[in-house]
A and B are shown apart, each in its own frame.
Chain A
Amino acid sequence: MARIFAYIVHKAGVADDSAAELVAAAKKIDAAQAPTAVVAGWGAELDSVCESLRASYGEVWKIANESLAYPNAELVRQALVNVLPAGCIVLLPHAHFATDLAPGLSIKMNAAYVPDVLGVDAVEGAVLKLVRQEFGGQISAHVRCDISSGAVITIRPGAFKPLEGAPAGGVVVDKSSAVGPLTTGRRYLETVVAETGDVDITKYSVLVSIGRGIQDPDNVSIAQDLADAMGAALSCSRPVVDAKWMEKSRQVGSSGQTVKPKVYLACGISGSFQHLAGIKGSPFMVAINKNPKAPIFRVADVGIVADILEFLPELTNQIREK
């Protein structure tokens, strides 16, 4: 089996939660191997990330370079191509940074690419049998991946549970000298922080959340009425913001807000993993959707198959009467 590397995403000196999940994914591919962490960055923050990873990785490859102080995927890719051995397997968390980095990395390493993997079903010689989802999670797929010249694989956040075990007692290996000159036609300028909207949905313990099923901007008031009757805030999933029916500040999901309510009413939301990633703290989740196969029913506590446009006004009336 080829050597397995886990690319560690980090911020302000702290490794992302995915660092522990990638160990679990690596062990599914090759239980006999201690995976190696690879961390790119600069300065004291990089050092503290490397230090923290010694508990879970046998080896931590440190790539220190001033031009990697901010993780510009184009530069990180060049660094990885220069540092990593040919034919290896690279795991990354499937999130916005991997979307930027991983497809091109696979090309430059002449490696197979499998994005957004949820499971490892089998390893048969140089073939991995992996599990993915398609059509927004409506259907699962088995994918065969030829790893004879290496692979780049991105792992669905939350799909692999971190392993419990004794500290790995890893060593930090400085690979900075192998990076070579880094140049790119894409230069980082700044990060623009999201504007806060009129309502801060992260502050509410009850959320009524609407998705594509609301169908028309004129119908948003139906859900607002329900939220008002419940003393809840109104939030939404991505398609509602894409259609400009609600402000971005109301969007729950990995590219929007992370919320931690006690009760979450998902109305006409199919339940993509990007949306669910924004809901923390295991709220009591009610899903109302007219498609009985909507993925949201797999994760909700209570499900109702109904057209929200008919159901919500009636629910609002009943709550007002009580």
Chain B
Amino acid sequence: MEILVCAKRVPDTSENEIELNSAGNDIERDDLVYSVNEPDNYAVEEALEIVERTGGTVTVVTVGGDEDEEILRREMAMGAKQAALLSDDTFEGSDGRGIASILAAFVKKGHYELILTGVQADDGAAQVGGMLAALLDYPFASLVTSIEFQEGGKLKIGREIEGGNKEIYEIDLPCVLSIQTGINEPRYVGMRGIRQVASIPIPTLGKAELGMNGFSGKAAAKVKCTDYFVPPMGKGAEMLTGSQGEIIGKLVDLLKAKGGLK
């Protein structure tokens, strides 16, 4: 089976505190540590486990600039055989629909039976997979936590709903699935693995190569983030301060008063 996984390079929130810049209109981007969007690793792992059973190859694709190539290499070190960088000055400022349109143009150039995305990225929008499916007229399911093969080119999938419950669907191929975290245990990638794929060429495709005439770029974007700001504090917690011993003393008293100790 030929599987395409769409990935994104994002600021790594486990390595950075996200803060406002001094102008107050953007996050502070200097010194940010970037990595592949964590849910995308689950999507790549799932794709690799599928091709281990069925044969075929995994291709990983991203939309961005030269700096985004590093995440493609990382996913190739996991086991993706091919990668592509979709890059063009005119792609800048694309909204979710723009990104999905660029990816749709790439999909139409290949023969992918299954397209996976991570459930969501840094902006929490969880939008590109569903949009991509709609642009391609493929069936779509989000929050997928299990994939099984059925006879006759179909999958049986589980998707996470509320309360730890799961909806089970049968879905035709080709389709687009957004993969929820926890579906598998993504394999470890070491520096050695990344070095081994360092010299594999990764093609870059722009608007012309993709034959794009869709919604990409700033002018076509219906949705634009204009600025960032510090979220309102709300009521805010009463912060306990002092030495660790003092803090623990205060906390134990509070827990007792509130019925938190037996």
Q: In this assembly, does A265 line the interface, its C-beta being within 8 Å of a C-beta of chain B?
A: yes
Which residue on chain B has the smallest CB distance to residue A135?
B18
Q: Is the interface of B mostly helix, strand, loop or mixed?
A: mixed
Q: In this assembly, does A280 line the interface, its C-beta being within 8 Å of a C-beta of chain B?
A: no
Q: Report, as a range, how many residues of chain B touch the other chain.
A: 35 or more
Closest Cβ of chain A: how far from B187's Cβ, in Å?
Answer: 14
By a CB distance below 8 angstroms, the chain A residues around B178 are 99
**A206-B260 in contact given A104-B131, A306-B244 (Cβ < 8 Å):** yes
B240 adjacent to A115 (CB under 8 Å): no
By a CB distance below 8 angstroms, the chain B residues around A322 are 252, 261
Q: In this assembly, does A102 line the interface, its C-beta being within 8 Å of a C-beta of chain B?
A: yes
Interface mask (B221-239 → A, CB under 8 Å = 1, otherwise 0): 0111111111111111111
Closest Cβ of chain A: how far from B120's Cβ, in Å?
Answer: 8
Q: Is the interface of A mostly helix, strand, loop or mixed?
A: mixed
Q: Which of A108, A184, A186, A241 is B182 in contact with, Cβ under 8 Å?
A: A241
B170 adjacent to A186 (CB under 8 Å): yes
B240 adjacent to A103 (CB under 8 Å): no
Q: In this assembly, does B168 line the interface, its C-beta being within 8 Å of a C-beta of chain A?
A: yes
Closest Cβ of chain A: how far from B44's Cβ, in Å?
Answer: 15
Interface mask (A206-248 → B, CB under 8 Å = 1, otherwise 0): 1000001000000000000000001110000011011010001
Closest Cβ of chain B: how far from A88's Cβ, in Å?
Answer: 15
Number of interface residues of A (CB under 8 A): 96
B13 adjacent to A135 (CB under 8 Å): yes
Which one, B71-79, B134-142, B192-200, is touching chain A? B134-142
Which residue on chain B has the smallest CB distance to residue A144?
B224
Q: In this assembly, does A143 line the interface, its C-beta being within 8 Å of a C-beta of chain B?
A: yes
Q: Which of A151, A256, A263 is B163 in contact with, Cβ under 8 Å?
A: A256
B171 adjacent to A186 (CB under 8 Å): yes
B164 adjacent to A185 (CB under 8 Å): no
B222 adjacent to A145 (CB under 8 Å): yes
Interface mask (A109-144 → B, CB under 8 Å = 1, otherwise 0): 001111110000000000001001111111111111
Closest Cβ of chain A: how far from B262's Cβ, in Å?
Answer: 3
A254–B143 CA distance with the chains assembled, in angstroms: 13
11 further interface pairs, Cβ-Cβ under 8 Å (given A107-B131, A286-B251)? A101-B130, A103-B100, A103-B134, A113-B127, A141-B123, A187-B169, A206-B260, A255-B162, A297-B236, A298-B233, A302-B251
Q: List 6 A-B contacts (CB under 8 A).
A: A141-B225, A141-B227, A192-B166, A206-B260, A230-B255, A302-B251
Interface residues of A, Cβ cutoff 8 Å to B: 72, 74, 95-97, 99-108, 111-116, 129, 132-146, 149, 151, 184-194, 205-206, 212, 230-232, 238-239, 241-242, 244, 248-249, 251, 254-258, 262-263, 265, 284-287, 291, 293, 295, 297-306, 310-311, 314-315, 318-319, 322
